[in-house]
Structure 1
Amino acid sequence: MNIIRKKSWEISQNEVTPKELFEKRRSFIKLGAASLVASGAIMELLAQENLPKITLDFIKDENKNNLKLNTFEQITSHNNFYEFTTNQSAVKDMAHTLKTDNWKIKIDGLVENPMEIDLDDLKKMLMLEERIYRFRCVEGWSMVVPWNGYTLSSLIKKVKPLSNAKYIRFETLVDSSSFPDQDRGVFATLDYPYVEGLRIDEAMNDLSFLAIGLYGDLLPKQNGAPIRLVTPWKYGFKSIKSIVKISFVEKEPLNTWQKQNPKEYGFYANVNPNVDHPRWSQKKERVLGSFLKQNTLMFNGYEKEVASLYNGMDLRKYF
């Protein structure tokens, strides 16, 4: 099995699953029994822990921090996905309408190699990794997720941005047959398509990630299938779901929530316990499954990796 070098943001691998299951998986690997993945014993064990079958081949993320991973059930049952509904617990039951077959992503704008790429081809083009990240919602809840996917920088290098490309603009699918809220017209919750953006240097940071799976299986629809952005030092609304278009542009794109309410949501949306949301404090967060709140970390615990991106910037002004 391939192992990647440990990094300061990594989380202990033995927290990815309950300890008993982790140790049994490790034993199978030591025995070289990859063929046993499909065995009845493994399937029964996975079912007991409510975990998906491991269907993806990826480089494991060996982590050194000791954070407890949220369960698959928690991660897939508490979702903000307004294209379906504003009811977080109802998204899971509604997400079956999202059609992900033959998914294509258009990459255009200020690049040498614009392309429209099939998701299956993208899987062959780039090396699949596991990244275990903290995830912090602007609403004050958080979780820890084992994503599977690719560094955003690896895709950027393929398309070769031009020198005047300063930002990347991301766009979610518009399809009223997939997304009920888009079918509501002027009564929709948001103005679609959902749009997000990053500066090029943010996008090139090693933490920026394109996820196609979690817990070793393809991404559930309620979590942004078939491909989503993950920027773990930013609030969750920056991690745009169900991406169909990536454009390289010169000017800062207006993201959806910034357009919706610019006094409450900025372009950067970096996790900052020292800057409250106008309607609530950001100093603490509640981890899904926990009763007590914990302190929110600057940049969600990734200050060492990303703080230099914002040197000289007033983080109260550029929120």
Structure 2
Amino acid sequence: MLIRHPLDIPPSEITDPARYAARRKFIQTLLLAGGAGALGVARGNPPAATPGASLGKLQSSPFSLTDDKATPFKSVTSYGNFYEFGPDKESPARHAHRLRTRPWSITVDGEVKTAKTFAIEDILNWAPLEERIYRMRCVEGWSAVIPWVGFPFSELLKRVEPTGNARFVEFWSLADPEQMPFVRLPLLDWPYVEALRLDEARHPLTILAVGMYGETMPKQNGAPLRLVIPWKYGFKGAKSIVRIRFVEKQPATAWTKAGPDEYGFYSNVNPDVPHKRWSQSHERRLGEFFKRKTLPFNGYAEQVAGLYAGMDLRKYF
């Protein structure tokens, strides 16, 4: 069902701006004072990117929709966001080796007829794995072209029965301070939770990814299971998913709570809506010097614009 008018986030779920600013200042002070050492995490240069296990023969996908050259594996695995392992772009590669990806299970609950828990090994056998080369755009202004390996979210819907009340889907990331030391700090309201409208989640471009570049997912990129929505900014793609919850009302998500005037629920790539602190009109691919013009919906407008027909995309950003 196409939902044209989203529900407002309840004021009680939104972080006060003053609290958010104080939180950021606290984190900056802690890190400058060597707080990372107090957390028991190592400093220094990130380790070199190492390949994972091959995922074998992959099914070709008609949804790649780009002829752009893939960004080098090293660039994608050494630079990125995964706040559970630290706030700077090199932190995930430096600290994610702590993550234990086996055993791993994902609970599916909420507005479903029967809640279920799946082991990651079972999920890997749900459908032939596809390689999909997607353009990805981050809100900070950098972008990449990544060959993801995974399957459509609709494969999950085949195995659970959402009730008629299900209108949104939440994706919960692991938040274990033993494995993820920066969860001990109030960088965000843990656990990291992202969400989509149900029609966005079931769109054929939305995938649950288990790998990239033909190999199992690197820990710093969200192993063993992450969400990929190529027409939205990268922070919508929850990493290291442990729970998928179907709900009736639009939920507050990690970044909408942290900065509601900067990070909207929809987070569709829109070059005409600037971030509060920078423009979104251009982007720089990892490994490239010159910037390029940002495309509406990250270049996937033909496929997804109909999801938002009649909506003011400046208001619902």
Shift in Å, 1:130: 0.9
Give 2:108's aligned residue: 107
Q: 1:215 to 1:189 in 2, by over 3 A?
A: same
Counterpart mapping for 1:25-44 below 5 A: none
Q: 1:64 to 1:257 in 2, by over 3 A?
A: closer
Q: Is the 8 A contact 2:167 2:246 kept in 1?
A: yes
Q: In structure 2, what is the Cα distance between the partners aligned to 1:56 and 1:144?
A: 21
Counterpart mapping for 1:166-315 below 5 A: 166-184=167-185, 188-315=186-313
* 1:270 aligned partner, one-letter code: N
Give 2:5's aligned residue: none
Q: In structure 2, what is the Cα distance between the partners aligned to 1:178 and 1:291?
A: 35
Shift in Å, 1:136: 0.2
Q: 1:314 to 1:123 in 2, by over 3 A?
A: same
Q: Is the 8 A contact 1:56 1:218 kept in 2?
A: no
Of the two structures, which has the highest relative contact order with CA contacts closer than 8 Å and spacing of 6 or more? 2
* 1:116 aligned partner, one-letter code: T
Give 1:9's aligned residue: none
Shift in Å, 1:123: 1.0
Shift in Å, 1:157: 2.4
Give 1:59's aligned residue: 59
Q: 1:176 to 1:52 in 2, by over 3 A?
A: closer
Normalized per residue, the structure richer in helix is: 1
Q: In structure 2, what is the Cα distance between the partners aligned to 1:170 and 1:52?
A: 24
Per-residue CA deviations over 1:179-227 (Å, capped at 9, x if unaligned) read 011123xxx3111000000001000100001001001110000000110
SS of the residue 1:278 aligns to: coil
Q: What is the identity percentage for the equivalent residue pairs of Structure 1 and Structure 2?
A: 50
Q: In structure 1, what is the Cα distance between the partners aligned to 2:101 and 2:67?
A: 35
Q: In structure 2, what is the Cα distance between the partners aligned to 1:64 and 1:209?
A: 15
Structure 1: 4+ residue segments shifted above 6 A = none
Give 2:126's aligned residue: 125
User: What TM-score does the superposition give when structure 2 sets the normalisation length?
Assistant: 0.82
Shift in Å, 1:111: 1.2
Q: Give me the CA root mean square deviation.
A: 1.6
* 2:126 aligned partner, one-letter code: M
Per-residue CA deviations over 1:80-114 (Å, capped at 9, x if unaligned) read 01101112123212111111111000000111232
1:97 and 2:95 equivalent? no
- How many residue pairs end up in the alignment? 268
Q: In structure 1, what is the Cα distance between the partners aligned to 2:180 and 2:98?
A: 7
Q: In structure 2, what is the Cα distance between the partners aligned to 1:210 and 1:113?
A: 21
Give 1:157's aligned residue: 158
SS of the residue 2:74 aligns to: helix
Give 1:83's aligned residue: 84
* 2:203 aligned partner, one-letter code: N
* 2:261 aligned partner, one-letter code: K
> Any stretches of 5+ residues in structure 1 without a counterpart?
1-48
Q: Is the 8 A contact 2:66 2:135 kept in 1?
A: no
Q: Is the 8 A contact 1:52 1:215 kept in 2?
A: no
User: What TM-score does the superposition give when structure 1 sets the normalisation length?
Assistant: 0.81
